[in-house]
Structure 1
Amino acid sequence: MERRSFLKKAGVAAGAGVLAACTGAGDKAAGAAGGKIEWTLASSFPKNLDTIFGAAEVFAKHVAALSNGNFIINVKAAGEIVPGPEVLNAVQAKTVQMGHTASYYFFGKDATFAFDTAVPFGMTSRQHTAWMMYGGGMELMRDFFKQHKVVNFLGGNTGTQMGGWYKKEIKSVEDLKGLKLRVGGFAGRVMSKMGVVPQQIPGGEIYTALEKGTIDGAEWVGPYDDEKLGFYKVAPNYYYPGWWEGGANLSFYVNEEEYAKLPDNYKAIIETATMYAHTDMQAKYDAKNPGALASLIGSGAKLQAFPKEVMDAAFAATKEVFAEESAKNPNFKKVFDSWIAFRHNEAQWFGLAEKSYSDYMTTNPWKPGA
């Protein structure tokens, strides 16, 4: 190739690059060519919750590694850009390109959001992931999120949560009447039918509210996160199971327009990195919760199961709320019809294989050195 011809072509290429940057096509062109793209992700969680907040950091780390450092995600904790409950709005408005959150925080906008995280007497972590990946759940939720200009991805799971901390023992449904409990969304609506007075309180304010008597109890996540917040000091009765969160799923949100600009290889990187973060979060909770529970009990926490009477009343109230919402919300009913069929089959299968095996393992512990 002649030198003059080479320089001419190089000049045209350089000019095209400048034009792409000036016309707003630079991000896509840069990604396709291996250049840098830099996004901001707003989390709904504080930094001290290293399992939940940490999932976004794990995601960002893998995006950078898989793109050879060309795709950078800057992770911001709740309050650094927007408060935790405003993550959906921030992604919709393109204040940030991405978010990491629990979709049931937006239950007030549309109860259908709750299916993306957890609903009372819903599926466990593995069952939910199975529904999303192979039961039509992701297609249904993508269709729903499209109405909100968001592309959703799996973003972690806490596993089955605990039933919360209470100042007094819960021996019957009667003990729930008038109880001021920090709980929200779908669970709050169900508990209202049982006489509970739901309270919406940010995580950082729960301890003080319990200490001052503003609330009588609070649910959070599970032993590892609960221990950090010190609830056992002011509300020692620790109940299980958290029937309203059989497997609380977290999600990554991407602004629909920003996602469309990405080259295919960067879209694949997002898919891969979100799945890694999804698996990593559950593994962390499974590894850390047993030791934290032992520590809590050693510190004075009184571990107790909800009475069957309470569980049965909660189940009945849950079915009422589902029927009421399905009757008035087409979005909700569309997802519910798929979800309930899958849940039924999963419950039968897990009850056969998993439960029988787990029951035997629990009643026949094999301790180190035995």
Structure 2
Amino acid sequence: MRWRPKRLALIVALVATLTLLCCGGTVSALLLGGVADDSGTMTLSSTGCGVGGPVDPNAKLPRLQSYGTAQMKNAAIIINVGAELKLPPRAWVIAVATAMQESRLSNLGYLGENNDHDSLGLFQQRPSSGWGKPSQVTDPEYAATKFYNKLKTVKNWDHLPLTRAAQRVQISAYPNAYAKHELVATQIVNVLADGAANAAGSSVSMVCASPADVAASGWTNPLAEKGPDAHKWDVGSGFRTLDRPKHQGVDLIVDTGTPVRSVASGVVSRVKCDETFAGVKDCDHAGYPGKGGCGWMLEIQHPGNIMTRYCHLVERPNLRAGQQVAAGEVVATSGTSGNSSGPHLHFEVHLNNGRSSASAVDPVQFMAQRGAPLGGSQ
């Protein structure tokens, strides 16, 4: 597969704010600074977890960030082929992100001395490696079909991190490059396929992901449980409120002992006792306001240089730094250690794998953008 030179690299400034409100089977999405029609007018996309189906690739399509209408048409073709093959939206997100990395969603022909061997088309498939004739791999429908057919042979592809699933199809020299496109690929699928990236990840029924599901975006809720006895919970203290301007996350109100899940696939970066009791580092007891610190805390780094932090855990998570975790995997148990007035999970999201207040973003908006809204009743 081709490594794209810098002139072809996608430089995505994450300035788009996507607000998703999912209830009654509908989702409303607004991308600010990201989506425009051919005249440059911003558009509001009303979406519904894929129930409306993918858009016709020949329809008038919007632009999204640095992707023009021709590129969006290629994305629409990729999505439509996935739908025709009865693959769930998770496959569409993987395929679109892969084509973003390989060609910036452009159907590339032969590039002369810049060509990587005989790589061609949206996915930079090589005729000499058995992908098809040059005229075939430069046909977007054919190329997408070949990609999906290979993806289906990958064991548990729908539960793998996007970059690993894509790499097992593409066999790229830069296997970690696909991850950085997951957010914009999710937005493209939502814009072109009626919010399909917010549907349940492995389902072809186009139903909004429940709090217990991993959405097609690859993200899920940190506290959801399946079954009639699942814990009910709500968002308590919010992100940087007027009364708590230095609160860098949100408090999710649950009883002690609630399973805490990784919100996406990733790698554990830190497990720490962040509390001092009577002059001794000790997190194995209930906390109280003013004590200071997160108590038992866990940090996980996710594709796209996203870090999530989980605080006030009841005990040390049975994890080690460098350990891989899957989306939805139980990684800890909620409690009230550290600076805590009662049982809850303090949840933070940081960009650029940062740990400071400067890198923190509002988890409610961030998780809604990925089809995994916070709140047990949503």
- TM-score bracket for this pair, using the shorter chain length: under 0.3
Q: Give the structure with the higher percent helix.
A: 1
Larger relative contact order (Cα-Cα within 8 Å, sequence gap ≥ 6): 1
TM-score (norm 2): 0.23
